[in-house]
């Protein structure tokens, strides 16, 4: 039996569940795309950019379809690797930066998916320890103060 908790401490299972939820979301998304034609062919990003989700609805790739292919495979690989990279301490910060970049790209290219991208941020924050979150909060407060001056 555990002794009394220190004042202000909380059980860690909530954080673990948030981490697992993010990992399962990416793993499921990555696996679901494996049999998909556009993800296999590398055309998924080009198709997305002319879909109703795209802010511009233009073929940005035109003569550069190789760029769409590379972006498609990079996104798919990232979705498959994030569940692993987030749980490894040596790759955690890189994984968080890559995941946040992915969702920044989604938010920039699709006004319909901005809320989705923002809602993914807390899942990444669950992988940071309290000291890193405090450091980040201090840095953001300093930048906000400097911006006001």
Instruction: Give the span between the Cα atoms of 112 and 54, in whole angstroms.
Output: 8
The predicted-structure confidence for 102-119, as pLDDT tens digits, reads as follows 999 999 999 999 999 999
What's the mean pLDDT in 84-110?
96
Q: Is the pLDDT of residue 92 over 60?
A: yes
The predicted-structure confidence for 40-54, as pLDDT tens digits, reads as follows 999 999 999 999 999
Long-range contact pairs involving 111-118 (C-beta distance under 8 Å, separation at least 24): 111/55, 112/52, 112/53, 113/53
Does the pTM surpass 0.85? The reply is no
The predicted-structure confidence for 119-145, as pLDDT tens digits, reads as follows 999 999 999 988 888 888 898 899 888
Q: Is the pLDDT of residue 33 over 70?
A: yes
Instruction: Give 3-state DSSP helix, strand, coil % of the chain, rounded to 5.
Output: 70, 0, 30
């Amino acid at each position: 039996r555990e002794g009394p908790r220190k004042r202000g401490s909380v059980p860690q299972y909530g954080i673990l569940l948030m981490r697992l939820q993010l990992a399962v979301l990416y793993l499921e998304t990555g696996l679901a795309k494996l049999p998909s034609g556009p993800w296999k062919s590398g055309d998924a990003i080009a198709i997305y950019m002319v879909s109703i989700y795209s802010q511009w609805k233009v073929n940005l790739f035109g003569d550069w379809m190789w760029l769409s292919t590379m972006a498609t495979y990079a996104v798919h690989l990232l979705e498959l690797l994030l569940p692993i990279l987030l749980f490894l301490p040596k790759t955690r910060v890189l994984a968080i930066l890559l995941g946040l970049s992915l969702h920044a790209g989604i938010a920039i290219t699709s006004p319909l998916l901005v809320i989705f991208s923002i809602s993914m941020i807390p899942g990444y924050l669950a992988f940071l320890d309290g000291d890193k979150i405090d450091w980040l909060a201090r840095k953001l407060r300093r930048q906000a103060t400097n911006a006001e001056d």
